[in-house]
Structure 1
Amino acid sequence: MRAVIAFGVAILPLVIGITWKPPEKATDFSLYQIYPRSYKDNDGDGIGDLRGVIQRLDHFAETNVQAIWLSPILRSPMVDFGYDISNFREIEPIFGTMKDFEDLLKAAHDRNLSVLLDFVPNHTSVEHEWFQKSLQGIPPYDNYYTWHPGRMENGTRKPPNNWVSVYNGPAWTWRDERQAYYLHQFTVQQPDLNYHNPNVRREMEDILRFWLDKGVDGFRIDAMTFIYEDQRFLDEPLSGQTDDPNSYYYTEKIYTSDQQSNYDILPTWRQVLDKYKQPKYMVVEPFGNTEKTMKYYYYGIDFPFNLDLITNLTVHSTAADIKHIVDTWYNISLEGGTPNWVAGNHDRNRLIKRMGEPRARAVTTFVLLLPGATITYYGEEIGMTEGYISWEDTVDPLGCTSNKAQYQSVSRDPARTPFQWNNSVSAGFSSNSHTWLPVNSNYKTLNLADEKKDNNSYYALYEKLSKLKKSPHFKRGNLVTKVLDEYVFAFARETEKHGSVYAITNFGDKDSTVDLSVFDNIPSKLDVYYASTISNILSWESVVQVRRVTIPAASVVILTTPNANFVTG
């Protein structure tokens, strides 16, 4: 538990006098992101749905997950697959009905599983009633969005400034009905709401209450970086990265992202959540650098997603690089924040695509065994890889707005393919052989059912580590991090009475023999709990001498003290 105001008074006047009390279990819990279109199809139309999620809820008990986060399931024309919402109080029929959602909530709660919704406050769909009325200038909706008459140059009307959309091209679109441009930081079909209008802020608070009254346990807040824009509408300075004025990287985002008001609005949402008897989660998707992301901790949220394992970790990272990432985020907990570890999501290449399978196992070890919250993107627990998606099958707007020669470099479709449950039709995802995205062709050999039978599978590792994370004694383990050589990073979770766990990862391309006696009070021998790649010494011994442990290239080895009584499974 943290008291935000204790270390933020000087710079955060809006939160003076408020002490936030986030859920106790947010400090060390496991959150699983479900991409509903791709999780489980119940009705056979080739698209995942809420009934499909209900069918597979027991999977989370098996993997020791405490909370699920549903990517958008609200009414939407699906231009951006749910992130363009046309009604914030209705379930999108593709996924089911409100009754289906209520049944999902009950079934999840019966299993002590919390449910978080994706809250998308920055924009709506152009089909939303608010925008249609704003387009017609009907009060009070006329000011619900950001409109601007533009500027005249040599008798020609042009957009107000050089702001660029995330999806490339101008962030402004002209509408004759209003004789004005509207702002959209994402697709043309996703107009930005105007948070300088108090009516908009009240509307969004009411939407939070609507779903909290339904019984949801919290929200993942989408695109928080973009909520407010500088109302002077000045040109942003050029970045120097590209000469293309339609590229998102053409300008430095000093007026369109990370405005102070983005942080200031969060305590008002926290106050809405805190009115409810049961603790509610509020987590944030950041886009900025580490400094800007860390700043969110002072504004009443449980945590901003830590994307450093995605953005700053590569196959070439040294042990010192890894230690810096881990120590930076862990030190937050010393000030009352909650560290968290994210290896993938629906907007990024899958973990194995980025790191290769051996190193991916090491990253999964970080995610599960470091102190704090674990966030798992669906399929990561079985080591799902990215499948080939043809130009004809591409549906992601980022890919579709590119061209045939370049779409594969930007499309997010390969990271969103259906979950591979077994080796039956459509990998057990659907009874339909035609699914919204093609099932990865490797599903015959890479699927949950087969991995459950293999003690060396990716799922076996995930299940083993998730059980370890769940142990009350392990949760209380102190963290110690060490650089053992250029590419070998190690960390320990130590307890005085219940033993210790040592995770040693080698990101190099060669085997390395290291001395673990650099950890204080370590016994002379350790038990082998897990080894992702079996070296000669680990192939025939279950106990190793700490002064000379061989860690194979691109691998992880997990060792425990002989008296470790929190190890299960």
Structure 2
Amino acid sequence: MHILKMNSVILLLVAIFAIGNCANSDWWKTAVFYQIYPRSFKDDSNDGVGDLKGVISKLPYLKELGITATWLSPIFKSPQVDQGYDISDYRVVDPLFGNNNDLTELIKEANKLGIKIILDFVPNHTSEEHEWFKASVNGTPKYLDYYIWRDGENKDDKKPPNNWLSNFGGIAWTYNETRKMWYYHEFAKAQPDLNYRNPDVVKDMKDILVYWLDQGVAGFRIDAVPYLFEDVNFENETATDKTKGVDPSNWNSLQHTKTLDLNETLDMIYQFRELIDEYNKNHTEDTRVIMTEAYTDFDKTLLYYGLKDGSRLGAHFTFNFDFIQSLSKNSSATDIKNIIENWFENLPEIYTYNWVVGNHDNHRIATRLGVENVDAIMLLQGILPGVMVTYNGEEIGMEDGEVDFDQRQDPQATDEKTFKEKSRDFERTPFQWDNSTNAGFNKGNKTWLPVSKNYINTNVELQNTTVDSHLNIYKSLIKNRKKISPAAKTKIEVLNSTVLTIYRTTETETYFYLYNRLGEPMIINNAGLNNSKILIKSTNSEKEVGSIINGTILVETNESLILHKDNPKDNGSFLYKTQPTVLIAVLFLIFVLNSI
């Protein structure tokens, strides 16, 4: 072969290698995001509150789990009225969790392990201790309209401007004696809402996003997005149709057409996405992403993804809370199927599915659906296409902790009569690492919330050494989930009324998910299961991993399984599994070699 041609081939091979190792724009589409509630994850300083050094110490654990990225609930400077969701400085880590150098170290060490760091961005409101709000109260010209200020009804200071209510209960307006006006707060009175009709506010918030992107974060979880804008005329909300027996001070007594999901709010999320896309365009690292929290109706949830035709994009994904909000202990296999198919049928193909089964605002899976169903729900989440989001502790089947009223920390649950109903403290108790003092959360100092009493039997150390444990099932799930091609077709069936079955199929293999939801033991006859192997089983299953199924299988009540089988291979299997960019390069190489 001519030397010049040989050099050309070598350069081509180098180019192919570069193509295969360029920034990954689609990493997030099949990612496992792990939510860490820093206060309760690991307390390195032994002051009773979790911190960033504690998170750093547990990065190897996240790597062992197979986590792609971890999202940290708020860690910025805050008076902690609402556990950090009341931010007084968006660019400074709260001393409670460490400092900015600790965050830099966390990002660096996580990246070494292939784990991306996602920060919690809270754009709707600040703390009343933020310098912007102080300046606004004092009448500093630039900051006069940084927040939502109004005179009282008919300029009577004794009555709020309208009937808007707070998510935390009661009127959503607080009178400020210094400025002699009312300010609006969708949440606690210590959390004044920003005024997004002021372009300076928009610019400042976008600058904060860019600041943290420059520090190396992989993206943001954006909090409470439906509330960014309010009706420009401040008209009263309309009462709901069903007001009988509903406390008029309760948020649910109004319809919230003036304060929720306004078109301007959607536009602002689209603007945030444009900023992120522009940043990605100008940087060579893996794609930075945004994911939005929107507790709203289904159609509006889809809009936070972007417009149906993709002409404007919103979040890379907005959280799908249907498994949290719609499933109960009485939900049937058909109910689960309907939830999934609703997303399959209505989310435009240009967008990516996501499945969330727990977070810091809702009771844990084991408490909501029963300990016997923990594995089934995790396996369900993992077998489905798209993004998987895990709340810390769900991988070991943690249950809600025990918190008395006098130990409360949640600002939305201050009434003893409704404490158990409203408090979010129960799902936020410290992570259970082992059976030592305070479950290994710290070295023995009093914890900010009490450690659950069941930590002796539910902890990482114990489950690591138990083959059939929630933790080891979770690890196996994530390991095998990464092997499923994103192109695998998905089919859902309910067999014999109670057995939920999900098939993920490619030209070369099929994964089967089986879950007997609340039914009597069922014998499933399915020729498609011939020669399939049990890959993963729930802790309540007595079957053996690795055993072969020959078309018939007995699925016990609440038992869940993932099976796997190879399909007949064809000559196109290599091309089928090869990444498109690499495939093109390989074909070009073949062409060049044939031309030499």
Q: Is the 8 A contact 1:126 1:191 kept in 2?
A: yes
Tell me which residue corresponds to 1:524. 530
**Aligned match for 2:272, one of 269, 274, 280:** 269
Contact 2:473 2:537 in 1 (8 A): no
Report the counterpart of residue 329 of structure 1 in structure 2. 343
* Cross-structure match for 1:558: 562
Task: Say whether residues 1:428 and 2:449 are aligned partners.
Answer: no
Asked if 1:148 corresponds to 2:135, the answer is no
**Distance in 1 between residues matched to 2:544 and 2:460, nearest whole Å:** 26
Report the counterpart of residue 319 of structure 1 in structure 2: 333
The equivalent of 2:514 in structure 1 is: 504
Q: Structure 2: which amino acid aligns with 1:246?
A: S
Residue 524 of structure 1: CA displacement? 2.6
- SS class of match (2:111): helix
Match of 1:8 in 2: none
Give the structure 2 partner of residue 34 of structure 1. Answer: 36
Mapped contact 2:469–2:539 kept (Cα < 8 A):
no
Out of 342, 352, 357, the residue aligned to residue 356 of structure 2 is 342
Amino acid at match of 1:149: D
Spell out the pairing of 1:76-475 with structure 2 (5 A cutoff): 76-152=78-154, 157-239=158-240, 240-241=242-243, 242-274=245-277, 275-276=279-280, 277=283, 278=285, 279-298=287-306, 299-331=313-345, 335-399=349-413, 401-403=414-416, 405-471=417-483, 473-475=484-486
Residues 264-314 of structure 1, C-alpha deviations (whole Å, 9 max, x = no match): 012322232232413211100011011110111213321000000001112
Q: Distance in 1 between matches of 2:215 and 2:346?
A: 33
Q: CA RMSD in A?
A: 2.1
Q: Deviations over 1:10-55 (max 9, x none)?
A: xxxxxxxxxxx99311211110000000111111111100001110
Specify whether residues 463 and 541 from structure 1 end up closer, same or farther in structure 2 by C-alpha distance, changes over 3 A only.
closer
CA displacement at 1:361 relative to structure 2: 1.4
- CA separation of 1:137 and 1:180: change in aligned 2, threshold 3 A: same
Q: Could you tell which deviates more after superposition, 159-168 or 506-515? A: 506-515
Alpha-carbon offset, residue 66 of structure 1:
0.7
Q: Does 1:494 align with 2:496?
A: no
Residue 112 (structure 1) shift: 1.5
Aligned residue in 2 for 1:545: 550
Q: Secondary structure at the match of 1:265?
A: helix
Instruction: Give the partner amino acid of 2:231.
Output: D
For 2:545 and 2:122, locate their aligned partners in 1 and report how far apart those are by CA, in whole Å: 53
Counterpart of 2:201 in structure 1: which amino acid? V
SS of the residue aligned with 1:423? coil
Residue by residue, what CA displacement relative to the aligned partner does 1:397-446 show, whole Å, maximum 9, x if unpaired?
A: 122x222x321121111100111111112111101241111111111111
Q: Determine the C-alpha separation between the residues in 2 that align with 1:182 and 1:564.
A: 67
Q: Is the 8 A contact 1:494 1:501 kept in 2?
A: yes
**Aligned residue type for 2:87:** I
Mapped partners of 2:322, 2:526: distance in 1: 26
Shift of 1:529: 2.1
Aligned positions, number: 535
SS of the residue 1:27 aligns to: helix
Preserved contact between residue 531 and residue 565 of structure 2 (Cα < 8 Å): yes
**Equivalent residues of 1:64, 1:470 under 8 A apart:** no
SS across alignment from 2:232:
coil
Is the CA contact 1:494–1:500 (under 8 Å) kept in the aligned structure 2? Answer: yes
Identical pairs, percent: 38
Q: Using a 3 Å threshold, how does the CA distance of structure 1 residues 527 and 431 change in structure 2: closer, same or farther?
A: same
Distance in 2 (CA, whole Å) between partners of 1:361 and 1:304 is 24
Normalised TM-score (structure 2): 0.86
Give, in whole Å, the separation in 1 of the partners of 2:114 and 2:159.
55
Query: Is the Cα contact below 8 Å between 2:470 and 2:539 reproduced in 1?
Result: no
For residues 363-420 of structure 1, the C-alpha deviation after alignment (integer angstroms, 9 at most, x for no partner) is: 1012211110110000011111111111121111122x222x3211211111001111
Contact map agreement 2:477 2:536 (CA 8 A) in 1 = no
Runs of 4+ in 1 over 4 A off after TM superposition: 331-334, 533-536, 562-565
Q: CA offset at residue 555 of structure 1?
A: 2.2
Shift of 1:331: 4.3
Secondary structure of 1:228's counterpart equals: coil
The one-letter code matched in structure 2 to 1:124 is T
* Contact 1:22-1:301 within 8 A present in 2 as well: no
Could you tell me which amino acid in structure 2 is paired with residue 219 of structure 1?
Answer: F
Change beyond 3 A, Cα 1:406–1:545: same
1:554–1:178 distance in 2 versus 1, CA, 3 Å: same
Which of these residues, 58, 64, 69, is aligned with residue 56 of structure 1?
58
Within the candidate set 66, 69, 77, 1:67 is matched to 69
Following the alignment from structure 1 to structure 2, what is the Cα–Cα distance between the partners of residues 78 and 541?
Answer: 50
Contact 1:145 1:194 in 2 (8 A): yes
Q: Note the alpha carbon deviations across 1:324-358, whole angstroms, 9 max, x for none.
A: 21122234676111101100000100111100022
Residue in 1 that maps onto 2:575: none
Larger Rg: 2
How far apart in 2 are the matches of 1:156 and 1:53?
A: 48
Counterpart residue identity of residue 402, structure 1: D
CA contact (8 A) 1:22 1:302 kept: no
State whether residues 317 and 487 of structure 1, in contact with CA within 8 Å, keep that contact through their aligned partners in structure 2: no
Alpha carbons 1:102, 1:214 under 8 Å: kept: yes
Does the Cα contact within 8 Å between 2:375 and 2:539 map onto a contact in 1?
no
In structure 1, runs of 5+ residues without a counterpart are: 1-20
Change (3 A) 1:287 1:398: same
CA distance in 2, matches of 1:397, 1:510: 44
Contact 1:316-1:507 within 8 A present in 2 as well: no
Matched residue of 1:398: which SS? Answer: coil
**2:133 is paired with a residue of what secondary structure?**
helix
- Measured in 2, the distance between the counterparts of 1:553 and 1:312 equals 21
